[in-house]
């Protein structure tokens, strides 16, 4: 009998399994530029989408929880799209350098 598959916790944003490696990033719920220290591990593509859509001020003021991020219309549309991708999917065309402040 083969050994059981390793457990990979789900991404807090998209819910897909997180496989250790280059497909993961740490996201500061409140940006470091505003004194944020708490981080959550999530898929790199999910992290990039957050920073493409939202400025650091918006993250600080309105989108500093996973629930509020999921409720944003652009991120909700992205989550529907990415839910069909494998856990280690990396979109080489996505940029994490969106609107900053």
Question: 24-62, pLDDT tens digit by residue?
Answer: 999 999 999 999 999 999 999 999 999 999 999 999 999
Residue-level pLDDT at 83: 93
Reply yes or no on whether the pLDDT at 92 is more than 80. no
C-alpha–C-alpha distance, residues 101 and 98, integer Å: 10
Closest to 59 (Cα-Cα) out of 19, 13, 100: 100
pTM of structure:
0.82
Q: Which two tokens stand for residue 10?
A: 């789900």
Q: 58: domain range?
A: 24-82
Give 91's pLDDT tier (boundaries 50, 70, 90).
confident
Q: Within a domain: residue 38?
A: yes
Report whether pLDDT(79) > 60.
yes
Report CA Rg, the chain. Answer: 14
Q: Total domain count for the chain? A: 1
* Buried/exposed 34-49: b ≥16 CB within 10 Å, e otherwise: eebeeeeebbbbbbbb
Is residue 63, in this structure, part of any structural domain at all?
A: yes
Residue 86 pLDDT: 87
């Amino acid at each position: 009998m083969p050994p059981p598959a390793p457990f990979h916790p789900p991404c807090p944003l998209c819910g897909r399994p997180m496989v250790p490696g280059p497909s993961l990033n740490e996201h500061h719920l409140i940006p470091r530029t505003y004194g944020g220290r708490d981080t959550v591990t999530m898929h790199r593509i999910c992290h990039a989408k957050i920073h493409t859509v939202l400025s650091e001020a918006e993250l600080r003021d309105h989108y500093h929880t996973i629930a509020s991020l999921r409720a944003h219309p652009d991120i909700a549309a992205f989550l529907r799209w990415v839910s069909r991708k494998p856990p280690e999917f990396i979109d080489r065309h996505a940029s994490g350098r969106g609107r900053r402040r």
